[in-house]
Copies of this chain bind each other. A is one copy, B any other.
Amino acid sequence: MKYNRIYLKNSLFLHFIFTFMTSIQTQDYAIHFNENCYTNLNQQIEKKNYTSIFILTDSNTNKFCATQLLSQIETETRIEVLEIEPGEQLKNLETCASLWNALSELGADRKSLMINLGGGVVTDLGGFVACCYQRGIDFINMPTTLLSIVDASIGGKNGVDLGALKNQIGIIKTPTMVLIDISFLGSLPQRDMRSGLAEMIKHGLINNPKHYKDLQDLSKLTLEDLDRLIFDSILVKKEIVEQDPTEQNLRKTLNFGHTLGHAIESYYLNHPEKALLHGEAIAIGMILESYLSHKILGLDTESLNEIKSLLTKTFGHPKIETSDFENIIELMKHDKKNENGVIKFVFLEKIGNSKINQEASKELIINSFEFYNN
């Protein structure tokens, strides 16, 4: 689908945007929004005649969203709800093994369907569980957090962490479909909402100055604006991924802020008193990597300061202890983007324009921590 940006706010165009926002078609699957998502889900269940349906969710999500989803499914097929404890700590192989055993004991077969209802942990882990159960069963992702909506809806990345190393184990496989019910966001704590905004801001920074600009003053946004911004943000990612599905070049730009951001997230995962949400860690990573961009690719000072100001205003400004610098840098050595042990970054030349396969000296990285802290 070709997307045209339409910002004229008369009723005719608003109606057009609304119709338009019912689905996004990717090369392999569709993303359906709001009421449209339940219609499509029921059609899929009827068409494929699944032998059983397994809804994976966590105890946070279950409370708010599973009831809504269950009330909308129209089928005689057996439905089982599998609930895991919430949190990144359980995104590991042990949880996968428990789920594979549960599926096996509950008689899931190759014609079963799995619906992953939750944030990124549930969709990443549930996707991986479905892809590997009996060499792959159909799965549908229903992200319920802003972060998983704008990030995990596109790209087909599934997987789990290996110890402190994020997403070290996984595969790329696209879901049967993605369902987005924006009303689920109403139940999300403010901190989690902000967290998702980090990925949206990243989409703007690496590829789309207009999208970045739209996200500048979030305090003035209405709910309708958010709907449109989410749609825009998914489209930015979709266009990047479709141009480079196997992550040879352009798709790597989506890792902006993630080389340092992931290491920070991993490091604080083992120090629960300082634990950061993914988006909060990525926001810090984007400030650090913008500083490196400034030093290495000449990103201008004004943009650098604007990025730092926007991100600290939105995500807070937790300081990073000098004694943690070394440990965080050490963790980057396991980053999946590395080649031959050399740590690779994505840097910005200017806002909306990014460059892959960048490197930075340890000294400069330490400087970036100091720039962030001050």
Binding site for B on A (CB under 8 A): 51, 93, 96-97, 100-101, 104, 107, 109-111, 131-136, 157, 159, 162-163, 165, 167-173, 333-334, 336-341
Q: A157-B135, A163-B101, A336-B134 are in contact. Are A107 and B171 (CB under 8 A)?
A: no
Cα A173 to Cα B134 in complex, Å, equals 13
B169–A132 touching, CB < 8 Å:
yes
**A interface, by DSSP: helix, strand, loop or mixed?**
mixed
Give 19 pairs: A residue, B residue, CB < 8 Å, sorted on A.
A51-B339, A51-B340, A93-B96, A93-B97, A101-B163, A104-B165, A104-B168, A104-B334, A109-B336, A110-B336, A111-B339, A131-B171, A132-B159, A132-B170, A132-B171, A134-B168, A136-B172, A171-B171, A171-B173
Cα A163 to Cα B339 in complex, Å, equals 37
Minimum C-beta distance from A263 to chain B (A): 14
Residue of chain B at shortest CB distance from A129: B169
Minimum C-beta distance from A77 to chain B (A): 10
As for how many copies of this chain the complex holds, the number is 2
Cα A336 to Cα B111 in complex, Å, equals 10
Residues of B within 8 A of A334 (CB): 104
Cα A135 to Cα B169 in complex, Å, equals 6
A172–B340 touching, CB < 8 Å:
no
A162–B341 touching, CB < 8 Å:
no
Residues of B within 8 A of A341 (CB): 107, 109
Contact of A171 among B135, B163, B336, B340 (CB under 8 A): B135
A133–B169 touching, CB < 8 Å:
yes
Residues of B within 8 A of A104 (CB): 162-163, 165, 168, 334
A135–B100 touching, CB < 8 Å:
no
Most interface-central of A101, A110, A134, A157 (chain B CB within 10 A): A134
